[in-house]
Amino acid sequence: MENKAIVCKDLTKQFGDFKAVDKISFEVSEGEIFGFLGANGAGKTTAMRILCGLSYPTSGEAKVAGFDVYKEQEKIKKNIGYMSQKFSLYDNLTILENIEFYGGVYGVSRPEIKERSAELVKTLGLEKEAKKLVGGLPLGWKQKLAFSVAVFHRPKIVFLDEPTGGVDPITRRQFWDMIYEASANGITVFVTTHYMDEAEYCNRISIMVDGRVEAIDSPTALKERFNVASMDEVFYELARNAKRTSD
Amino acid sequence: MKFFMNWHEMPKERLTNMKKLLAFIRKEFYHVFRDKRTLLILFGLPVVQIILFGFALSNEVKNIGIAIQDNSRDIHTENIIRKIQSSSYFKVEAPILNYKDIENRFKDGSIKCAVIFPSNFSSDLQRSGGAKTQLIADASDPNTATIVTNYLTSIVYDYQQQLNPTTQLNYQIVTEIRQLYNEEQNGSLNFIPGVIALIFMIVSTALTSVSVVREKELGTMEILLVSPFKPIMVLIAKAIPYLVLSLINFILILFLSVYLLHVEIKGSFLLLFAESILFIITCLSLGLLISNVTDSQQTAMLISMMGMMLPTLILTGFMFPLENMPWIFRMVSHILPSRYYYTIVKAVMLKGLGFEFVWKETLILAGMAIFLLAIALKKFKIRLS
């Protein structure tokens, strides 16, 4: 894993006097599952918006999928997928129509959409529901479908912003099976979460406190460093000194 | 799981921007045709408005209840009463008993006017050549009262002419009235252009703004902004379906007006169509602008309804004459796009005028469209960064 999917160096975003993101530096390898943790208001969302090509940093450097966040936002957007905590499919469209729409927006050709949506529906075991409105599906299925749609156009990196909010533990487990599957096939996963059990599933995690990355390592190494039994405690050790409280 | 395999195999073919846009527009149509409320507003409202304005809300006076007290009971009063009865404007109710009776019947609304012939009507007429009759009208609705008394006066005048066909005054001035552009006094003529403007305001401004804001509420806007689909394309994709739907609506309204209300389109249909597209674009820009400054569907709806529709209803001159309003309202009416569109439609549709008579309004409307669209686009970009 020599190639880096994401490279950040001293990345800073300042709003007036307020440093939302304060000189963060990290690297994410291709195919890695990278957990991006931090309390509310720590600056996760701001950092993620820059990496997704939605806003410009104030200073520092960053490359996503090899493209510069200042000059090549359009190329970044073509090479990433994105799924947010807010449910992101249209309720009054069917599963197939949702796939067709997002596939179309990303420029996937019609025959390919047809072929891949058939595969996708089969993989998820949703053959019977394919022509039904998404609104009627259970939340767990919606989340899985939203993830599949986010990676439908074969992005190099997928950004997941608290993807499993409000989902039961079993569905969450299944959701993570899908993430592993995608990662095993070479897609890089950049995920934010508040669930510490999910943090354990990541290859490596970073923890942001007050706009800075305070720790970055594998979950096992972090637990050893702080000499604690769970990620919960690691997070608490780091985040309790935070001065900011909310977004 | 085959879906996740062959990850690095790149897609064979990329869609052109045009095809991406079409995929987006198709989605917008799914939204419209699956939402019963939207459909109802879109196609139910124009029909209801046309019927309401065309049939129910009429200025014309027909079958107005009046009562007569004839204290003279002679050939003259009988002749006048017969003339009144035979008019389709009035429905003559039971005779009046006393003054109190008039008031009671005004209060319960059964009559709008009372006609009283004094007992000396006939004798006065014959002896002194001048008789008096009294008309008492219920002026709580001043328009109706004026119209009713005018009609009654002219009936009496008519009879007087009949009595003295040979009497020639030394000088006589006759006012010969022609109600040009609407000879039959068809009340719906005046409303149709207003209703068209109103419908465009609802469909293009309100529905467009709500559809954009809905994506914000759902969180799908975020996904769209992260996608390579350009923000301007999002706006275009949102606007095109409503432009098409508004034009369908326009045809529907014209169809109803011509075949249901018998309104004749005097001017060029093409000119009317082109001017309508211009006005729709203005409304769409307004809708997009509203959607940029609000975050909830309710707020967007409220701004469109209160801020746009109400002024259209009141300040464009189609319900109340602008000339009679205080200057401040007249000033406000100048910044309303619908005012100019209303003027144009009236000129082209009812008077049959050509472009040379409406170019000024067209220019103002075009200026407003460009101005609003520019702000909408600018605001959209600001929100992005």
Looking at residue B277, what is its pLDDT?
Answer: 94
Per residue, the 3-state secondary structure of chain A, as one string, reads CCCEEEEEEEEEEEECCEEEEEEEEEEEECCCEEEEEECCCCCHHHHHHHHCCCCCCCEEEEEECCEECCCCHHHHHHHEEEECCCCCCCCCCEHHHHHHHHHHHCCECHHHHHHHHHHHHHHHCCHHHCCCEHHHCCHHHHHHHHHHHHCCCCCCEEEEECCCCCCCHHHHHHHHHHHHHHHHCCCEEEEECCCHHHHHHCCEEEEEECCEEEEEECHHHHHHHHCCCCHHHHHHHHHCCCCCCCC
Q: Do residues A214 and A46 make contact, with C-beta atoms less than 8 angstroms apart?
A: no
Looking at residue B166, what is its pLDDT?
Answer: 64
List the single residue in B7, B27, B218 with the smallest CB-CB distance to A186: B7
What is the least distance, in Å, from the CA of A54 to any CA of chain B? 7
What does the block give as tokens for B203? 């469909």
List the single residue in B15, B34, B225 with the smallest CB-CB distance to A54: B225
User: Are A87 and B222 inside 8 Å of each other by CB?
Assistant: no
Chain B residues touching residue A87 (CB < 8 angstroms): 218-219
User: Are A88 and B5 inside 8 Å of each other by CB?
Assistant: no
- Domains in chain B and their CATH numbers? 22-56+185-384 (no CATH), 64-163 (3.40.1710.10)
Mean pLDDT of chain A: 88
Alpha-carbon dihedral sign for residues A203, A207, A212, A214? negative
What is the least distance, in Å, from the CA of A244 to any CA of chain B? 23
User: Are A102 and B385 inside 8 Å of each other by CB?
Assistant: no
Domain count within chain A: 1
pLDDT band at B271 (very low <50, low <70, confident <90, very high): very high
pLDDT band at B41 (very low <50, low <70, confident <90, very high): confident
Percent of chain A with pLDDT over 70: 98
User: Are A120 and B3 inside 8 Å of each other by CB?
Assistant: yes
Q: Is the CB of residue B9 less than 8 Å away from at least one CB of chain A? A: yes
Q: Of B318, B114, B117, B107, give the one whose Cα is nearest residue B201.
A: B318
Instruction: Answer yes or no: is pLDDT of A38 > 90.
Output: no
Chain B residues touching residue A83 (CB < 8 angstroms): 223
pLDDT band at B2 (very low <50, low <70, confident <90, very high): low
User: Are A90 and B218 inside 8 Å of each other by CB?
Assistant: yes
Strand partners, B274: none
List the single residue in A90, A112, A153 with the smallest CB-CB distance to B12: A112
User: Are A185 and B13 inside 8 Å of each other by CB?
Assistant: no
Overall pTM surpassing 0.80 (yes/no)? no
What is the least distance, in Å, from the CA of B380 to any CA of chain A? 13
A149, amino acid identity: V
Query: For B3-16, what is each residue's pLDDT tens digit?
Result: 665 555 555 556 67
- Give B205's Cβ-side CA count (13 Å radius): 28
Residue of B12, B227, B295 to mutate, testing the A interface (most A Cβ within 10 Å of its Cβ): B227
Q: How far apart are CA A192 and CA A207, in angstroms?
A: 10
Query: For B172-213, what is each residue's pLDDT tens digit?
Result: 676 777 777 666 666 667 778 888 888 888 888 988 999 989
Instruction: Answer yes or no: is pLDDT of A247 > 70.
Output: no
Percent of chain B with pLDDT over 70: 89
Looking at residue B59, what is its pLDDT?
Answer: 58
Q: Is the model more confident about A1 or about B65?
A: B65
Q: Range with the lowest mean pLDDT among A33-37, B60-64, B81-85, B329-333? A: B60-64
Q: Of B215, B243, B244, give the one whose Cα is nearest residue B231.
A: B215
pLDDT band at A1 (very low <50, low <70, confident <90, very high): very low
Chain B residues touching residue A45 (CB < 8 angstroms): none
Strand partners, B117: B70
Mean pLDDT of chain B: 84
User: Are A88 and B222 inside 8 Å of each other by CB?
Assistant: yes
CATH, residue A45: 3.40.50.300
Q: Is the model more confident about B308 or about B343?
A: B343
Query: For A97-120, what is each residue's pLDDT tens digit?
Result: 999 999 999 888 888 899 989 989
Q: Is the CB of residue B37 less than 8 Å away from at least one CB of chain A? A: no
Instruction: Answer yes or no: is pLDDT of A12 > 80.
Output: yes
Average pLDDT over residues B231-242: 88
List the single residue in B11, B35, B222 with the smallest CB-CB distance to A112: B11
Looking at residue A189, what is its pLDDT?
Answer: 95
User: Are A80 and B385 inside 8 Å of each other by CB?
Assistant: no
Instruction: Answer yes or no: is pLDDT of B385 > 50.
Output: no
Q: How far apart are CA A213 and CA A221, in angstroms?
A: 16
pLDDT band at A13 (very low <50, low <70, confident <90, very high): very high
Per residue, the 3-state secondary structure of chain B, as one string, reads CHHHCCCCCCCCCECCHHHHHHHHHHHHHHHHHHCHHHHHHHHHHHHHHHHHHHHHCCCCCCCEEEEEEECCCCHHHHHHHHHHHHCCCEEECCCCCCHHHHHHHHHCCCCCEEEEECCCHHHHHHHCCCCCCEEEECCCCHHHHHHHHHHHHHHHHHHHHHHCCCCCCCCCCCCCCCCCCCCCCCCHHHHHHHHHHHHHHHHHHHHHHHHHHHHHHHCHHHHHHHCCCCHHHHHHHHHHHHHHHHHHHHHHHHHHHHHHCCCCCCCCHHHHHHHHHHHHHHHHHHHHHHHHHCCCHHHHHHHHHHHHHHHHHHHCCCCCCHHHCCHHHHHHHHCCHHHHHHHHHHHHHHCCCCHHHHHHHHHHHHHHHHHHHHHHHHHHHHHHC
Q: Is the model more confident about B165 or about A149?
A: A149
Query: For B71-122, what is each residue's pLDDT tens digit?
Result: 888 888 888 889 888 887 888 888 887 888 888 888 888 888 899 988 888 8
Instruction: Answer yes or no: is pLDDT of B152 > 60.
Output: yes
Q: Of A151, A130, A175, A188, give the one whose Cα is nearest residue A4.
A: A188
Closest chain A residue to B10, measured at CA: A154
- ipTM value for the complex: 0.85
Chain A residues touching residue B228 (CB < 8 angstroms): 74, 77-78, 105-107
Chain B residues touching residue A90 (CB < 8 angstroms): 27, 30-31, 218, 220
What is the least distance, in Å, from the CA of A217 to any CA of chain B? 27
Q: Of A154, A233, A148, give the one whose Cα is nearest residue A199.
A: A233
Domain housing A225: 4-88+155-239
Looking at residue B381, what is its pLDDT?
Answer: 66
Looking at residue B286, what is its pLDDT?
Answer: 92
